[in-house]
Structure 1
């Protein structure tokens, strides 16, 4: 079964200024004495850094280099997700570095908070990380638009509890992955027909009963749950 992913950038395109931020107010002009005492190179460097941090956006061109650097000193490898049905903990694979770094980065940015498990297929998968809420589209706009290359040669299979990444529905002959979404395999013992097409990058090590509760919820058209199932909090276990 082809795994779907949902992009809401079309919403953003209809509201072109939604990602713009108010220009910060300029500080009061310092006195002449203050100007003499301040090292202008330090001030310029500080202002440049603040602007870069505020405007940094991931793209197809910079994402891999960014995550290569990001994962170098990344020691954390667990994420806790909380829903109304309870919490579960995901352990990320250290040898799938880009997908691990991406998941940690998005979690720390607060992206997953109040996204939903938007696709539930009984005894198969639950898929999360998207929403029909405009705030989710805004978050994606601010973080950036990019895809991740598949990393399927590490020997991981889609066993029950495996966390994997769906392919994007963008023009995508190489099965590049949608970085904002993930799915968890519910099938016992696994869904091995997915091997080679999707990238396993972690596994549920605690709270699989919560995943099963989510998988048992009634769904409507497009496998969307009849009642919204929010990820109320996603946090990195440092």
Structure 2
């Protein structure tokens, strides 16, 4: 009976995510993968859809790659800092964080980068994908105690079965996930990099909205 109920839960969760409204294809120099955007993080969804229409990510690069951590692309932290260095803080444009228990840092999650601003607001033109690592019961228990948070049953089961980066939950906005071609993303995450985590060979990508 428990197995039957668990199967029903998995089917319900799968249907929930398949029903999301917008899907993207990431075409890279190492292959393509597909992403679903969450309807329950609407501001971040709109941000990237608008960015695609405005060619913000045209000839974009995955410019920071850390195996077992993230593959990051778009505007680099350094470039943002240089652009904003002479601007007052109130002119550092950010998007307010959108945290939802259904959006967490499992492997394949799509998140928005940010600096150390206290509001945890996102950069407008920087994204990352979680490649993460295995997660144990002890890992989650320690994070819960340290951050005074509580992982849901779904989060715990997903982290135990797939892995990820739970320590980032509640600090960075997740607004989508890879649903096809995860192997391409994982291959990119293993590319050789320099001391600044930049790949030795440029990894270009473009984003196309999938019309169904």
Instruction: Please state which band the TM-score falls in when normalised by the shorter chain.
Output: 0.5 to 0.7
Query: Which runs of 5 or more structure 1 residues have no equivalent in the other structure?
Result: 1-74, 138-143
Residue 88 of structure 1 deviates from its aligned partner by: 0.7
Stretches of structure 2 that go unaligned for 5 or more consecutive residues are 1-19, 83-90, 134-162
Distance 2:52 2:204 in 1: 15
State the Cα distance separating 1:209 from its structure 2 match.
0.9
Greater share of helix:
2
Report the TM-score when normalising by structure 1: 0.59
Matched-pair contact (CA < 8 Å) for 2:103–2:176: no
- Which of 1 and 2 has greater Rg? 1
**Displacement after TM superposition at 1:129 (Å):** 1.2
Task: Give the distance between the partners of 1:194 and 1:213, measured in 2 at CA.
Answer: 22
Choose from 114, 121, 124 the match for 2:59. Answer: 114
Q: Which gives a bigger RCO, structure 1 or 2 (Cα 8 Å, sep 6+)?
A: 2
Residue in 2 that maps onto 1:235: 208
Give the match's secondary structure for 2:64: strand
Mapped partners of 1:123, 1:154: distance in 2: 23
State yes or no: 1:187 paired with 2:132.
yes
Aligned equivalents of 1:165, 1:111: Cα separation in 2: 15
Q: What is the Cα deviation at residue 145 of structure 1?
A: 6.8
Match of 1:147 in 2: 94
Moved over 3 A (4+): none
Counting matched residue pairs gives 153
For residues 180-213 of structure 1, what are the alpha-carbon distances to aligned partners after superposition, in whole Å with 9 as ceiling and x for unaligned?
A: 0111011241100000000110000111111011
TM, length-normalised to structure 2: 0.66
**Are 1:215 and 2:189 counterparts?**
yes
SS in 1 for 2:196: helix
Distance change >3 Å, CA 150–CA 84, structure 1 → 2: same
Q: How many angstroms does 1:76 deviate by?
A: 5.0
Write out per-residue CA displacement over residues 85-143 of structure 1, whole angstroms, 9 at most, x where no aligned residue: 101111000010000000111012111121100000011110011369x9xx9xxxxxx
Report the alpha carbon displacement of residue 152 of structure 1 after superposing the two structures with TM: 1.2
Which has a greater percent of strand? 2
